[in-house]
A and B are shown apart, each in its own frame.
Chain A
Amino acid sequence: MCLAIPAKVVSLEADEMATVTVENVRKLISVALLDQVAVGDYVLVHVGYALHRLSEEEAAHTLSLMAEAGILQEELAEIGGDS
């Protein structure tokens, strides 16, 4: 039920609605819960409503933290002599 999926806004429609895509799958959803949604924004979609914008910067930051994860620990482990 908490299923929510990131989707890209491709057009704004009347009545606080918008068309979003995931890959080439298009769906009409409501953007009534957000202000100033723009074409090109990525939003989180849940039961037909956009709940929040996604931050591209933060996504990239999270991925780089993941890639670096454990590097410090590995170095400490090597210094400390345990695996």
Chain B
Amino acid sequence: MRYISEFRDPKLAKTLARAIKLAAQPNRDYHFMEFCGGHTHAIFRYGVQDLMPPNVHFVHGPGCPVCVLPVRRLDDAIELACAHDVILCTYGDMMRVPGTGRRSLIKAKAEGADIRMVYSTIDALNIARDSPDRQIVFFAIGFETTTPATAVAIKRAQAEGLTNFTVFCNHVLTPAAIGHILSSPDFAPNGPARIDGFLGPSHVSAIIGSQPYEAAAQTYEKPVVIAGFEPLDVMQSVLMLIEQVNAGRAVVENQYTRVVTRDGNRKAQALVAKVLALRDSFEWRGLGAVTDSALRISNDFAAFDAEKRFAISEKRSREVKSCECPAVLRGVKKPTECKLFGKVCTPDNPMGACMVSSEGACAAYWSYGRQRMPETAA
């Protein structure tokens, strides 16, 4: 597969592994946070950590939009589907995430709610066109990679006068999250955990460019390397981070030059800026309230805002006690340090989003890496 297979070449992997071994200074450890859940999975799926020297460690970040969605918002989506007789369209990733009381979209669907899994907002628009007498709500989640798709859909709906289409918007922003993590006491110089640098997200950066990370790199003096999605990209980025750390540099570098530019996709950015607006604050699972970190639908497009069209009730939402998703998402605990991991909480019986999501750290550990954890044997 063009532009895929070449970046999985085992010979180049050996070359990069050797280079990393030579570059890593033996008298210190390196801790790099891969922000993006997709990188966490790539690392585990290809066994990249087996190719690292023992003093290079990956710290898993909160870049999994399914994982950081607060339980309250999932409960709201379930309510929309059940109490308001809408067709709720959702990306597949959200179907099995447990909300309050272990309810989920897939359970609600089994009980008769009209919930449909879609691959794209295009499918949701098609459903709206095909069912003019029904209300269609699109459950929008995702970082900046996925946000433009929602913006295009809303503009389309407006252009076509699709009055039965609204969006329940939960899009979140990456640079705000990175800044929040770096400023947290967990990662203060004498804090409990350490990050020496970031592997920046591949596809978020295709949209926003490499420029938005420059402020965080400078303020917190941590290097950021925008890393491509394939395992060789991850390895080359680790090498670049090690070289920066060794040289005492802290700048934004772009490893994923075949897709990412400093400016990103200006057309997509402009569209998002037109259709969506910043929320003052948004509650992230694990990170708590983060300012300027999420988007809502702008006033010009209020007609397409599910939160304005439907009265969603106030509710008390609860996570499962002892679920350590928040700490895992902040990078201060590993999945294996959660009491529930592998015992009560497995992909078949998930207690929290990190075990369900295709990008969650717990799911990655369980599905790909539990041969390294003797206490979780069958």
The answer on direct contact between A and B (beta carbons under 8 Å) is: yes
Instruction: Tell me the A residues contacting B by CB distance below 8 Å.
Output: 1-6, 8, 22-23, 29-30, 32-35, 42, 44, 46-49, 51-52, 54-56, 58-59, 61-63, 65-67, 69-70, 73-74, 77
Does B259 contact A47, Cβ atoms closer than 8 Å?
Answer: no
Q: Does B6 contact A (CB under 8 A)?
A: yes
Does B207 contact A30, Cβ atoms closer than 8 Å?
Answer: no
Min Cβ gap B214→A in Å is: 20
Separation of A25 and B179 alpha carbons in the complex (Å):
40
Flag B210-252 by CB within 8 Å of A: 1 or 0 each. Answer: 0000000000000000001100110010010000000000000
Does B148 contact A49, Cβ atoms closer than 8 Å?
Answer: yes
What residues of chain A lie closer than 8 Å to B357, measured between beta carbons? 1
Does A73 contact B23, Cβ atoms closer than 8 Å?
Answer: yes
Q: Given A2-B359, A74-B22, are A48 and B206 neighbors across the interface (CB < 8 Å)?
A: no
- With both beta carbons as reference points, the residue of chain B lying nearest to A66 in the complex is identified as B12
What residues of chain B lie closer than 8 Å to A44, measured between beta carbons? 203, 206, 259
Does A54 contact B258, Cβ atoms closer than 8 Å?
Answer: yes
Q: Given A63-B12, A67-B15, A69-B16, are A51 and B121 neighbors across the interface (CB < 8 Å)?
A: no
Instruction: Tell me the B residues contacting A by CB distance below 8 Å.
Output: 1-4, 6-7, 12, 15-16, 18-20, 22-23, 36-38, 63-66, 91, 93, 119-123, 141-143, 145-146, 148-149, 152, 201-204, 206-207, 228-229, 232-233, 236, 239, 255, 257-260, 265, 267-268, 271, 357-359
Q: Given A2-B143, A23-B1, A69-B15, are A54 and B259 neighbors across the interface (CB < 8 Å)?
A: yes
Does B23 contact A59, Cβ atoms closer than 8 Å?
Answer: no
Of the A-B pairs whose beta carbons lie under 8 Å apart in the complex, a sample of 12, sorted by A's number, is A1-B38, A1-B66, A1-B91, A2-B203, A4-B145, A6-B1, A30-B152, A47-B119, A47-B149, A48-B120, A66-B12, A69-B19
Does B22 contact A6, Cβ atoms closer than 8 Å?
Answer: no
Q: Which single member of B3, B19, B259 contacts A73 (CB below 8 Å)?
A: B19
Does B37 contact A1, Cβ atoms closer than 8 Å?
Answer: yes
- With both beta carbons as reference points, the residue of chain B lying nearest to A42 in the complex is identified as B3
Does B268 contact A4, Cβ atoms closer than 8 Å?
Answer: no
Separation of A60 and B206 alpha carbons in the complex (Å):
18
- With both beta carbons as reference points, the residue of chain B lying nearest to A6 in the complex is identified as B3
What residues of chain A lie closer than 8 Å to B38, measured between beta carbons? 1-3
Does A1 contact B255, Cβ atoms closer than 8 Å?
Answer: no
Does A51 contact B3, Cβ atoms closer than 8 Å?
Answer: no
Separation of A65 and B6 alpha carbons in the complex (Å):
13
Does B6 contact A63, Cβ atoms closer than 8 Å?
Answer: yes
List the 10 shortest-distance A-B pairs measured between CB atoms, nearest first.
A48-B120, A70-B19, A6-B3, A73-B22, A69-B19, A59-B258, A58-B258, A58-B257, A2-B38, A52-B206
Separation of A46 and B202 alpha carbons in the complex (Å):
12
Q: Given A42-B2, A47-B121, A73-B23, are A52 and B358 neighbors across the interface (CB < 8 Å)?
A: no
